[in-house]
Amino acid sequence: MAQYTRVAGSVGLITLQNPPVNALSAMVRQGVVDTMERALSAPEVKSLVICGQKETFCGGADIREFGTKMSGPPLTPLIHAIEASTKPVVAAIEGVALGQTGASRGDSGSTAS
């Protein structure tokens, strides 16, 4: 799933929650879609941060779903929706961050879209 909280008054925080590595399962993708919609429609929210939990950002696609019937929102439109967001979205990356083009493992950092 993805948990939505508001921090520092105007910042919406979306936390990827899918142990052990916060992989993008169908439930997590749906959670990101839902929490993005909620944050974007809240006038008091001016910017968004996406993070993982337990010192891990995201292990990429959920390998436990490989070979199963696709369900939930597809990943590419989800990423495009984040990029097209009308509010700034920052990824707070700690630990592993895996995706289609590679992987990184770092202490901490952030990227903006």
- Indicate which single residue of 13, 45, 48, 98 sits in contact with ligand L434P2JQ (rule: CB under 6 A): 98
x/- binding map, residues 13-32, to ligand L434P2JQ, per CB under 6 A? -------xx-x--------x
Of 13, 49, 50, 93, the one binding ligand L434P2JQ (CB under 6 A) is: 50
90 bridge partner residues: 49, 112
Q: DSSP for 21-75, please give it.
A: TT-B-HHHHHHHHHHHHHHHT-TT--EEEEE-BTTB-B-SB-GGGTTS---SS-H
Residues near ligand L434P2JQ (CB under 6 A): 20-21, 23, 32, 50, 58-64, 75, 96, 98-100
